[in-house]
């Protein structure tokens, strides 16, 4: 694959993973992630059988209940449509990159896996609307959000490299004796 085609694909990926392309998916990820972030940032005593452990579990349960109430306002079907668009775009980019750029296709495969888990948990959650299904959904949302953020960072780095390469190509100097 030539560099121009590669960088064009990176540019398309950047657009695909942006807020303009998949706003509801990213909004859902932002909505569900705080429960896992709370667990991750303050894991002490969550599983202990004492007053402090019960208090922390109560806080997490309350947070997930609040998230569920906010989540009901999201349009589940539109999230599914945007997720399908995201999945199609990822598969197309992987096909364009091929095995020549396996490092980058691994990032895209990771997003696809996390997206599948997220959608499965979301579907289960929409049937139950329980704290338990909300926690599972929060865990998968956090994983997908992390994968998208990591991929966006790699894409941004590649985009910066492509800009630098273009500037070098355009700035030829003519050495005269």
Distance CA 13, CA 26 (A): 15
The arithmetic mean of pLDDT across residues 146-157, rounded, is 92
Residue 80: half-sphere exposure toward Cβ, Cα within 13 Å: 8
- CA 158, chain centre distance (Å): 18
pLDDT in tens, 50-67: 888 888 889 999 999 999
pLDDT in tens, 77-113: 999 999 999 999 999 999 988 888 888 889 899 999 9
Provide the total of helices (H) and of strands (E) in the chain, helices listed first.
6, 0
Assess whether pLDDT exceeds 60 at residue 140: yes
Structural domain spans, the chain: 3-33+75-164
The arithmetic mean of pLDDT across residues 15-41, rounded, is 92
Whether residue 4 contacts residue 152, with contact meaning beta carbons closer than 8 Å, is answered with no
Assess whether pLDDT exceeds 80 at residue 166: no
Q: Is the pTM of this model over 0.95?
A: no
Q: How would CATH label the architecture of 3-33+75-164?
A: Up-down Bundle (1.20)
Assess whether pLDDT exceeds 80 at residue 155: yes
């Amino acid at each position: 694959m030539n560099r121009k085609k590669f960088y064009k694909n990176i540019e398309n990926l950047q657009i695909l993973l942006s807020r303009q392309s998949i706003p509801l998916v990213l909004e859902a990820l932002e909505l569900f992630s705080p429960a896992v972030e709370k667990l991750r940032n303050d894991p002490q005593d969550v599983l202990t059988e004492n007053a402090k452990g019960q208090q922390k579990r109560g806080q997490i349960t309350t947070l997930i209940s609040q998230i569920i109430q906010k989540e009901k306002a999201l349009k589940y079907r539109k999230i599914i449509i945007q997720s399908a668009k995201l999945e199609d775009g990822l598969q197309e980019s992987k096909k364009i990159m091929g095995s020549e750029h396996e490092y980058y296709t691994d990032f895209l495969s990771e997003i696809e896996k996390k997206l599948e888990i997220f959608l499965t948990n979301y579907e289960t959650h929409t049937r139950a609307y329980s704290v338990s299904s909300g926690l599972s959904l929060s865990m998968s949302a956090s994983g997908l959000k992390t994968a998208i953020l990591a991929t966006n960072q790699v894409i941004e780095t590649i985009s910066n490299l492509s800009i630098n390469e273009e500037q070098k190509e355009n700035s030829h100097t003519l050495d005269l004796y």
